[in-house]
């Protein structure tokens, strides 16, 4: 079984329709952290721009986790800044 096999689970409401275990925004945030871990800060920055676009557009109904998602976005921007400016980091 692969990671992709684990991510798709049929829902009881509509048999055969996939239900994903994570929100797309969570997956983009994970991809950002992966890019940073690999030292690919340019891709990390592009992923943050995509994530920001996803989180700032209006949704109907409003996302109950929006505040937490925005806080995660801010923390990700801070991480990228610290990675790009290691000389300014204080221990």
Q: Is residue 12 part of a domain?
A: no
Q: Which two tokens stand for residue 81?
A: 């800044």
Number of domains within the chain: 1
Q: Is residue 8 part of a domain?
A: no
CB of 69 closer than 8 Å to CB of 26 = no
Please calculate the CA angle 16-61-27 and round it to the nearest 5 degrees.
60
pLDDT of residue 2 exceeding 50: no
pTM score: 0.71
pLDDT of residue 8 exceeding 90: no
More confident residue, 31 or 89: 31
Domain extent, residue 66, equals 23-88
For residue 6, what pLDDT is reported?
Answer: 47
Q: Is residue 76 part of a domain?
A: yes
Q: Is residue 54 part of a domain?
A: yes
Q: Is residue 68 part of a domain?
A: yes
């Amino acid at each position: 079984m692969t990671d992709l096999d684990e991510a798709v689970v049929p829902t009881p409401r509509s048999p055969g329709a996939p239900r994903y275990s994570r929100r797309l925004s969570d997956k983009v945030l994970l991809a950002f952290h992966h890019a940073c871990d690999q030292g690919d800060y340019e891709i990390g920055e592009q992923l943050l721009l995509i994530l920001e676009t996803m989180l700032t557009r209006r949704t109907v109904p409003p996302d109950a986790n929006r505040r937490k998602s925005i806080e995660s976005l801010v923390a990700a921007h801070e991480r990228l800044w610290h990675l790009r400016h290691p000389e300014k980091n204080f221990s």
